[in-house]
Amino acid sequence: MKSFLKKNGFIIGVGFFLAVYVALMAIFTSRDYEITDALFNRSTTFGKIFEVLGPIFMPYVGIYAIVSVIMNTKTRKTAAKIAFYAFLGILYVYYFFIGSFTCKYSYLPILFVPSMVAYALWTCACVFINKYIANKNLTDLHKKIVWVMFITVFAAMVGSDIIKPAFGRFRYTELASPRDFAPWYVVQSHQFNSSFPSGHASRSSIVLAFSLIPLYFNKKGKFLNFCIYTCCYAFIALVSISRLYEGMHYPTDLLTGIALTSFAFFVGKHLIFKTTA
């Protein structure tokens, strides 16, 4: 039995993850409007604080992943190199753009320039970090960690900026009456900034990447992972609840956003490290 679980643990884990997601989606789909309607309260400071904090880590993790991939990936084919670096360059600009959301949600435009300066300085710091790691004989481990981060932030981008417009779901605050509400699987006509899946939920789930940092110091263990993942999902839960308070999302939006990034992280970690994530 132990050998079976060890051999098939990842497949069982994926199956369990998907089963829980489907079950929760089935439950929340029937109660989406009622839950959001019950929690909606834009007068709370809690909602506004975590609205700002939700996407705050994505630019830093994304920039770190992009810089590290550029510095640690080599290809001899000129055309492939140009296409690959052009793609990474577009993503780099994207993460700068996501950083401006902090100013948008905080209603403090004055933060825009300091934020851009902070990302530029962080880019320089990432270059030095990569050079430092190269001198510590951690290159192979570093490449694996970076690619897991890259997959995770890319999945968050896909969920929040590519899948979202396809559904065009109207937010709770945009409904003229409860009769205008439609479940997530009904494609609506919203052309911009739609509700499903939640960008805040998918972007806040980027904090899972921080669980990889102890690997640089050869620190690992079930208890350490439990503590880190507990803190990560506590943060993700607070951000998600804040979106309900603000009336910007329904539970199914949040659950799908979290699931997309989490699934990419754990599957990417398993495939790259070849261990049970």
What is the Cα–Cα distance from 154 to 166, expressed in whole angstroms? 18
> What is each CA distance from 264 to 150, 154, 185, 277, in whole angstroms?
10, 9, 22, 11
What is the Cα–Cα distance from 112 to 212, expressed in whole angstroms? 29
Q: What is the pTM of this model?
A: 0.86
Q: How many CB atoms lie within 10 A of CB 54?
A: 28
Of 246, 255, 261, the closest CA to residue 204 belongs to 261
Q: Where are the domains of the chain?
A: 2-273
What is the Cα–Cα distance from 66 to 100, expressed in whole angstroms? 18
- Residue 165 has what pLDDT? 81
User: What count of residues does the chain have?
Assistant: 277
Residues 53/113, Cβ–Cβ less than 8 Å: no
Spell out the per-residue pLDDT of the chain, length 277, in tens.
556 555 666 788 888 889 999 999 999 998 999 999 899 988 888 888 888 888 888 888 988 988 888 887 776 666 767 777 788 888 888 887 777 766 666 666 777 777 888 888 988 999 998 888 877 767 788 888 989 999 998 888 887 778 888 888 888 888 888 888 888 888 887 666 788 889 889 989 999 999 998 888 877 777 888 889 999 999 999 999 999 998 889 999 999 999 999 999 999 998 888 754 4
Give the pair of three-digit tokens for residue 268: 């990417």
What is the Cα–Cα distance from 249 to 40, expressed in whole angstroms? 10
Residue with tokens 């834009």: 42
Q: How many CB atoms lie within 10 A of CB 57?
A: 18
